[in-house]
Amino acid sequence: MDRLVSIGEAAKALGVSITTLRRWEASGKLVAEHTAGGHRRYDLAKLKPELFRSEAEACRRTVAYARVSSHDQKDDLERQKQVLELYCARQGWTFEVIA
């Protein structure tokens, strides 16, 4: 399901400026297709995959697992859990963190 959009639409979908998208492309963070006229087109399914997930994928639940090897590392465990929660939330996943 390829849905190519202009740089303006892609910037709006991501909540960033057009200049930021150009900078991301120059640094290799994003790949844009170019039309014959040289205009950038972005695949919205790659930029915002949560908009294109199937119903079966939407019902999926991600389980993130954090552990440390000793009780003395309890603070490290809390940091691990926070990092996992942030990552899963940014991916738009339904998740549970087990420690």
In this prediction, residue 2 has a pLDDT band, given cuts at 50, 70 and 90, of low
The strand pairing partners of 63, in sequence order, are 96
CB 6 within 8 A of CB 41: yes
Q: Which residue has the higher pLDDT, 92 or 37?
A: 37
In this prediction, residue 1 has a pLDDT band, given cuts at 50, 70 and 90, of very low
CB 34 within 8 A of CB 25: no
Which residues are identified as catalytic? 69
Task: Look at the pTM and tell me if it is higher than 0.75.
Answer: no
pLDDT, position 3: 78
3-state secondary structure of 91: helix
* CA–CA distance, 35 with 53 (Å, rounded to integer): 27
Dump pLDDT digits (tens) for 49-66: 665 555 555 577 889 999
CB 41 within 8 A of CB 31: no
